[in-house]
Structure 1
Amino acid sequence: MDFERRLKNKTIFAVMSVLLILCTLYFTLDIRKQKQFIDWEIQKENDIVHFEIKTLLQNTNQLYRDKIQYFVNNPEIKSQFKANNFQALYQKIFPFYTVLKSEDPYHFEINFYSKENQLVLNMETGAGDPSRKLNSNSVVFKSNQEKQKKKGFEIYNSQLYYKIVEPIIYKGEYVGCIEFAIRETEVIEHVEKDFDVHIATLFNAKQLDKKLISNLNAISFKESQMIRSTSENAFFQETLKQKITFPNKFKYHSKYYYVDIIKVETNLSNEGLEGIIYFREITDLQNQFKTVVYRSLVIIFLILLSTYIILHFSFNKIILKVFNLQDSLDKRLAQKTKEIVKANAELNQIFNTTGNSMRLIDNNYNIIRVNRAFNMLSGISKEDAEGKKCYDIFPGPYCHTAECPLNQIKNGEDRIEQDIKKSSRQGKVIPGILNAVAFKGEHGEILGVIEDFKDITKRVEAEEALLKTEQQFSFFMDNLPLGVFIKDENFRSVYLNKYMDNVHSNDNCQNKTPEEIFPEEYANRVIEEDQKVLNGEVLIVEDQLPNKLGEIKTYQTHKFRFRAADNSWHIGGVSIDITQKKKTELELKILSNAIHHSPACVVITDLEGKIEIINPSFTQITGYSEADVIGKSISILHSNNSKNTIESFQNIINSVISGKDWQGEFHNKKKNGEIYWELASISAVKNSKREITHFVIISEDITARKKSEKELIDAKEKAEESNRLKTAFLANLSHEIRTPMNAIIGFSNLLLDEDMSKEEKVKLNNLINDNSQNLLKLIDDVIDISKIQSGDIQLNKTQCYLNKLLLDLYVSFSIQIENDSKKEIHLSMNKGSREKDFSIITDPVRLKQILYNLIENAVKFTTKGFVEFGYTLIEDDKKIQFYVIDSGIGISNDKFDMIYDLFRQADESFTREYGGTGIGLSISKKIVHHLEGDIWVQSTPEQGTNIYFTLPYEQPESKFEVEESNSVNQFNWQNKVLLIADDIDINYKLIEEILLPTKAKILWAKDGKEAVELCLKNDSIDLVLMDINMPNMNGYEATQKIKQHKSNLKIIGQTAYAQDNDQSKCLDAGFDNYIAKPIKIETLLSTINKAFTKN
């Protein structure tokens, strides 16, 4: 009895000890598996959070780095920055800044700093802030110091900012930098909301600036400094007191948390960034773990209790049965037990080392075994699952089909993998990956299938979130007001947003190369640019392309390279339609050039009248440079700064401020003190709020116009005076014409009296001739006036026999004085040279005309006394000085200039004592100047007048001989035949009568064509008198044709136009000589005789 009791006790103790060990082992393995499952869940969430935070920060930094590149690489922005034109810079950037502010989810700032660390422009305020002080460790200070781009964290306005600073280089010169500041708070809050975590940023206190740390509500943690980005600092203060390490789990206020740090790859180690700490609540997982532990402990306790009771009350029966077993049975049982234990150990290992849902199914679709992950995922307990049909418990979509994993395994498949969805008992749809493999016996026979179902809910949610993000990104990109494209390293387009569809005229440019989209020349240029980008260059190019509507648009494209997901280089590009901008720039350039090159002064002042801008015309007109006037009052130009002037200018400003433009004239003063007149227009310049900010003054120097106006007034008065003089001239002209005409007509009628003696008829004929000469001279004077006023006066310089010319004048005026009984004048002539044939090269006709006018005036205005004329040689100056001196009425000094004006005399009354038209001296002065001489007068009233003029002295080279006076009766041309070519009958009859006593044979041609025909047919013609102006063919052309066939035939030209250059034209045309109408008998006979003599 005692033995049995001791055996019983020892057996119970041994069995209970072994069972306790087995239960302890089971409990340990189960707890470890559950812990692994929880760790797997945490790690899975941790991986997602890691990925999202890193991606978000990298995308954020890349996004804003790309944005800042637009400003840094824009040449216009750099130019305005260099010129310190910050207002224009603000206007340029503001539209783009506004779009960013409206579209960007994060708070950011854009600031421009000079190289002296001065804040010159804040895009939020539109102005600079010289008072903002920069710490020597600030990102901007370091960038300016090293002239390189910098990035890092800074504290500003009690907020943490991540700053990107890019230097601005203009034409090789460092001019400052641009700062892009992104507040990290919104970025962190975005992650916290999406993933239900708490996030803080951890910095190394040794590397952070102590001054920055002292300004923060910071929490010390070991050797680092933790800076909270959001508002829940109390949570971190409490938790971090526990001095936890990373990663770790801890309890806080009855809740469990998992904490880890994310190392962000941002190249910010020098700025002190340790990483990003995030805390995730795992209370549910921890409670689930506790439940499993408690349940396992209860099961173990029940097993131990049950075993003890069984052993205690059934020990004898068991012992008896054990001792009665056969050895063979013991061996078989032991072997089988080993196999089962071995098999169970493998299954346990498989089932307990995975967090996936697993179940074992036999060939009859019965569930043999499930793991705890299956229970948790499906919501079905082990008891409710094992022994049931697989298609009734947590079924898949392919049950009862050929796609059933068990059916496929039976049909020979080794492994099945399916993406399917299952529904838990609570109705939750769970996406997952099902892997099924055969469960085989010891002989390789298929006993069933092992299913492994991996819950991929988080991954699907992440993929859906990613897809949603991609859709949002795609929608965002397609609605951007600019084109975005991506090309691979073979220049093929792999992404184009919708905007690019309008940029290209082709309908589909996706997955195409430039050769497939553009013409060859343009495609080659694009490929060349893309190759440069792949080589590391950043390009900004402008192109003009037709869109789908055929409109030519101008685009600015920013190209850069980046690493794609497969680590290959890709080309990114942004195209902006700058057509309107280019048009505006062109208009502004045209306007700027117009202002810059405007002959009018342009001045822009502030409201106080201080000058801010001037154009070059201002400097040219006033003499003031920009340095002289910029910042000074416009009153610097006032000719005087009296009280009235200041009040008047203030009234003008008040008028402009009231909304009215002002226009008027100023009397201003130049820098050199010169006074000038200015016509000015003053207008107000208003800003977008309709507030007046400046005044613009556009003016022009009207000094010349004012002078012209005065000259016009004087000219008007002079014209009125000239009109009056012309009226007087016409009255005098009428009188001067009627006087000789009256004598000519009267004496011509008297010649018809048959009783008149021959001597009386000769006398009357002489009178008629004298008056005809006077009338001809008057006509010549009127023609000369026309030539002088039209500038068409012509000279014919030739050899002039000076003494003969003076003698002719002396004889002519001697006769005139002798025949005038009212004149008691002694006329004398002085020859400067005693040579009989003394001659010079000049225009003898014009010289005689000058002397005739001067002598005629001297005789006219001298009643009693003397008149002397002559010349003297001034050999040193190579000049000849002519003079006419009289003792007549004289001229007062104030009328010396007046007497040379047309139609004027010293006495201009209609009842004046002396006749004449008043044009002789004016004609004489003009001719003297044309002959390169000077004329002047000396006179005293009632004492006489001396008039002098000089002409150049040139050695004579005579072409024509001096004509000698001849009588018609001297010539006998009985054997000569003369052809007269003239279309006027009276001219022919006059010449015929003159030549009648010479007995020459006369032929008549009425035009040039007839003259040519007669000359070619009649070889007996000895000489031709050719009129110049005839119908059908003029005299020049007729002479040339005749000379072509009969070069020795003498041809003498005659014309009624009496132009100065007619003689030269005649000689050039082939004439042998030339005479002018009205024809003088002696001249005609002398010229013909000379031709016959030479012949």
Structure 2
Amino acid sequence: MDNPRVFADIPAEEFAVIQSLASILKFRHIFIFIADRSGSAVSIRELLFQHPGGSVTQVPDSGSLSQAVFEALHGPVINGNREVFGSLSGHFKLPFGGSIYTALIYPLEEQTSLLFICDDGEPGVHGESLEMLSTVSRMVSVSVRNRISNSDLLFEETKYKHLFASAPEAIAMVDGENRILDVNPEFERLFQYKGQEVLGKKLDELISPGLMLDEALELTRSNWEGRRVMVESKRMKKDGSWFDVSIMGVPFNNNYGHQRIFGIYRDISKRVKSEDQLKNRAAFIEYISRISSELINTDISNIDAIIEDALERVARFNKAERAYLVGISEDESYIRITHEWDDDIRQSHRSCQSSILIRDIKEYFLRLRSGKTFQLRRDEAGITEGTEELPFFFDLLNIESLINIPLFVGREFMGYIGFDMYSRPYHWDEQSVNIFSLTGQILVNALSRKRTEEKLKKALMSAEASDKLKSAFLAGISHEVRTPMNHIMGFIDVINEGDPSPDERREYLQIMKNSGTHLLRLIDDVIELAMIDSGQVHLRENICELGRFMQSLKAEFENIRTSMGKVAVELKLETPDQYTDLVVQTDEFKVRQILWNLLSNAIKFTSVGTVTFGFNIANDKTRIEFFVKDTGIGIDAEFHNVIFERFHRLDSGISRHYGGVGLGLPISQGLVSLFGERIEIDSAPGQGATFRFRIPLKLNNPETTGSIPVREIRKVYNWKGKTILMVEDDPVNMRFLTVLLTRTEANLLYASDGREAVELIAENEVDLVLMDMQLPVMNGYDATRMIREIRPALPVIAQTANVLAEDKDECMEAGCNDYIPKPIDKNILYYKMNRLLFNKGAESAD
């Protein structure tokens, strides 16, 4: 129960008086009592013990009376604040032996009492001795009070230092000039200063420089006016970084009357950050709700701007450095970025991703279309299933992480929304992924709405323009038909009614032939467009030597250029030297048709200058790129898409000046789409035009195809010793075939119906049959089936005016080895017959 802050040696002179008094009054024991405010014992300690022999000992720590003695003796003094005399029964034992018989208790200040005990009889305490005892007691009381006061001060100081040092808040104590007198360890840790670095410095200037200084000085001024302040603000660390703190300024006066201020700081950065995140999230949710409503109600002309803004906000909120929407072409042949935001660290990549062929990312695309979300780091690209094609794009765009989320409207796959990180690898949490997905769905719904409204507007405009287009087309096609017919009918009359010279006759006949060719091409164009629209046009691959093919086109268009009077236009062919002998498998007829249309337009719309065409091989060696460039009138960018729409012309003036009904480019675009590609155009008014398209590069392998390179086929054929049966009911066509085949020195047989053809084959060693399919008595299909029973390996080539895809299929099903449409191209006829006569393709048709 001892309390070290209370007990100390009594001063020597006071102790001597106590000793004398104890001897006179026959007190053997003197105790000091300490009690708390309630009167309970705090400490009971014996100060003096007088031995029976007369010697006296000051006892610093001789033990204590029991609690029961204390309560019996000390309690009345505390309650009554007066001296108490009394006799006690002998069962109260003393620490050194003996019992208490008589006791005198004298109250002191500060809840303290002196207890004088006689253990062998009553003490001699009378009036004079009592006064003496009172005087001595007051002397002891002063000493005890001073000692207690000093002990209290020491205790409070120790307590203050402990609390100051262990406080969880950063504390700085400043004087009247705002100079730092002391800081605690938490201040050193929080503000990154050592205590010696800041002592004597002005607190506000140290941690609240710049714009925050006025605020800090105002708070300090309030403290000096005696007000306690509590605020939340920002303060600066030693390293110059700012952080959020709660601040409490507490003014006080020390023991010497000097005014001081405690500045108490607590780091609330995490709480403020959390609150800011909650506020931002609430604001973001409100924003998403607002744009969702806007995208439903706004005019479609505003949708793109709203989407661009939304991509930026969503990306910034979720710490992405790039955001984009990717759409799909209607034929699902390629994807392209429709909307994009970039954080300005890099330039937009829309140009380099404007058109990515789906076949180049086929597996990735299929998994996105199935609904799979991809979140990848650079080191995962190519390893994760379905991402084998992606490392190239990570390298191309210098991406560290990406996330792509598929988007659907109903069950229709519309594309995906993507977010990238350039600066570092990053993983978006589930909450961010949900935000991305929600945003993407809102945006794609808006785009779907825009697309639907645009289609409706376009349909309305098309309906309104339909009559004009029909009228313009009919007028144009009427002109295109009647003009060559006028040439033909007119010069027939001239020849019949006059007697032209041989040179004039040749000239008239050439004009008639050219006009007939023009009419035939017009009819072919109309039929071809109808077939493309109905999906009846398919690729039919054959063997093509690119060099020879391009040279033949050049030769053909040199004649066309001359016939069109374009003497001021130079025609150039540019092909890579290393690929002049390249032999590939492709649909040569359709490639020729595409180039024919493009070259015709280039020459038509160029009065002076050059028309250049050719091909290149793509860097990845997977595609051939054809091009046609001219220095003609050029095309404004706003019409780059219009020219591929059927019957559309730039204006009626151009139609009248250059002619045509506007079918060539729509047909060409339709044919190029069969290869999974699109025609691209680069043009501006007065700067000419460049058209490009690509087809897959498939090298010809004679060993696997059973074919020989085209370069080995001669233009002059000698089939002496071969017997060819021509089956044709039209005398003019039969005459035409006879003229062509007589040049080959082959033996020719003739049949005018299918039954006659079968009989001739049974009776003769025929090497090849040219079979018309529309025949009297027995048609060509049934005749071919019967021939297959007689001569299973005999080559049969169908020749027919039926040019639809199903017509060719019907011929092949009947047993024909190949097929040639009317009007017959002699070069194609020779080529196909030569291959079959010498068993270089008898098993399958091209």
Q: Give the TM-score range, shorter chain.
A: 0.3 to 0.5
**Larger gyration radius, structure 1 or structure 2:** 1
The TM-score with structure 2 as length reference comes to 0.42
> Normalised by the size of structure 1, how large is the TM-score?
0.33
